[in-house]
Amino acid sequence: MSPTAPNQPRLIAHGVGIFALIGFGAAMVLVAPLGAEGVAIGLAVGEVIGMVMYLPAKTLGAIGMKGSHFHTASILRAAVAAVLGYGVGRLVMLVVAPTDYLRLFVFGALWTVIAGFAAYALLLNTEQRGVIARRFAFVRAPQPTLNQK
């Protein structure tokens, strides 16, 4: 397979491998001083390096878009989303501390909804948001009213 072939699963394998090595390594280092929060931070660092920085850089290079502003903007958006997701998690923890399974479920649901909308706004461009909006158009569609006499 040539280096510019359209189907290059090796790129994804390399990105996941980098994520695994750096993420799990950082998680193992940070678990002692920070506990579960350290594991989350370590995995996030690995994912950002492997899947946000390395994989897009190699993919954009394979299609001839090396050094584009798109990649820089993607990295900045991912960094902002990571910090925002962490901040939302900390704020939700103040409202619902995950001390048992029910509270963990409520914590996860709140965090997912709030951080999901933030990621939707930060990480997706207008075209991607439009595709998602069309898929959920039934939610916004006006419902027919019954004629009541």
| CA pair distance 77, 66, nearest whole angstrom | 18
Looking at every residue in the chain, the average pLDDT score rounds to 81
Q: Higher confidence at residue 2 or residue 131?
A: 131
pTM given for the model? 0.60
Q: How does pLDDT run across 86-145, given as a tens digit for each residue?
A: 888 888 889 988 888 998 899 889 988 888 888 788 777 788 888 888 887 766 656 566
Which residues touch 63 (CB under 8 Å, ≥6 apart)? Answer: 4
Mean pLDDT across the stretch 66-86? 79
Helix (H, G, I), strand (E, B), or coil: what is residue 146? coil
Q: What single-letter amino acid sits at 80?
A: V
Look up residue 95 and give its two tokens: 């409202």
pLDDT above 90: percentage of residues in the chain:
13
Whole-number pLDDT of residue 121: 80
pLDDT above 70: percentage of residues in the chain:
85
